[in-house]
A and B are shown apart, each in its own frame.
Chain A
Amino acid sequence: MVHALEKIQRLLKPDGILIDIHPPPEPSSIEVRIRGEAIPAGWLHESDDYAEYEDADDALARVVGSRLFVVERGGAFDLVTHADTVAELRAYVAEEWEEARIDDITAMRAEELLSTPERDKEVILRESVRIARLRPRRSAS
């Protein structure tokens, strides 16, 4: 990862910028939204990705520490995936995510919440995502 960042530093113009977007090493939440109110149902379980996200944080910290890049700004946003049913969301996670799953207890809780006769309802997967703007430092190369 550090090698990738070193290469990106070389490919960027001196006044260029690097935008890094990646999730933190924390589980994403499964929620049921009923009439605009989001109710927690549980968490998405990932077996491997948290370690990868920690590695990403470490790599960024190392290139900043070695003065390859300077962090100009950091922030976070929520990336939300919406589905009408738990089965639909589970199928999506199974297809699109490696090593991630919605466990049975969370699925049952979400199904229970969705059983309300209210029509304005959905199940959502909420991922917290980090974003940062970094500037290359040529003096370090």
Chain B
Amino acid sequence: MPIRLDPEDTETAALFDFAGDFTGKRVLEIGCGDGRLTWRYAGRAAHVIAIDPDPDEIAAASEDLPASLGDRIEFRAIGIADFDAPEAEFDIAILSWAL
């Protein structure tokens, strides 16, 4: 069998436990990497902007983006310092192993 990362889904469970309901929420994920965590909550959110400064990671995430989530997730190859958005735009920000 190949490597299995968190098959128990403890990270997702902890995220939902701490963030609560994502339904209808606008989410900013900082340090999304290849989208491993993004897939797990995006189906419930209204819109997700997921950023990472590594273009290779963003390319991988964009390539793997499920068609069903294509209209609600934007992947951007950018760091938080250069990311621009209006003030008070997001309901939830996720710092995903990014500090």
Interface residues of A (CB under 8 A from B): 1, 3-5, 7-8, 10-23, 55-56, 59-60, 73, 75, 77-84, 88-89, 92, 129, 131-133
Q: Which residue in chain B gives the minimum CB-CB distance to A1?
A: B99
Task: Give the total of B residues in contact with A, Cβ under 8 Å.
Answer: 36
Q: Which residue in chain B gives the minimum CB-CB distance to A14?
A: B88
Is B30 a contact of A77 with CB atoms below 8 Å?
A: no
Q: Which residue in chain B gives the minimum CB-CB distance to A15?
A: B91
Closest Cβ–Cβ distance, residue A50 to chain B (whole Å): 14
Residue of A7, A15, A21 near B94 (CB, 8 A) is A21
CA separation between A12 and B99, bound complex, in Å?
A: 17
Q: Which residue in chain B gives the minimum CB-CB distance to A57?
A: B99
For A60, list chain B residues within 8 Å (CB).
99
- Is B5 in contact with chain A by the CB < 8 A criterion? yes
Interface residues of B (CB under 8 A from A): 1-8, 10-11, 13-15, 17-20, 28, 30, 80-81, 83, 85, 87-99
For B8, list chain A residues within 8 Å (CB).
80
Residue of B20, B92, B95 near A21 (CB, 8 A) is B95
Closest Cβ–Cβ distance, residue A23 to chain B (whole Å): 7
Is B87 a contact of A16 with CB atoms below 8 Å?
A: no
Q: Given A11-B89, A16-B90, A81-B3, 16 other A-B contacts at CB below 8 A? A: A10-B87, A10-B88, A12-B93, A17-B20, A17-B92, A19-B18, A75-B14, A75-B17, A77-B13, A80-B6, A81-B4, A82-B5, A89-B3, A131-B14, A131-B18, A132-B18
Closest Cβ–Cβ distance, residue A122 to chain B (whole Å): 9
For A17, list chain B residues within 8 Å (CB).
19-20, 91-93
For A18, list chain B residues within 8 Å (CB).
92-95
Is A8 a contact of B88 with CB atoms below 8 Å?
A: no
For A23, list chain B residues within 8 Å (CB).
97
Closest Cβ–Cβ distance, residue B50 to chain A (whole Å): 13
Most buried by A among B11, B17, B95: B95
For B13, list chain A residues within 8 Å (CB).
77
CA separation between A12 and B28, bound complex, in Å?
A: 9
CA separation between A56 and B30, bound complex, in Å?
A: 14
CA separation between A88 and B1, bound complex, in Å?
A: 10
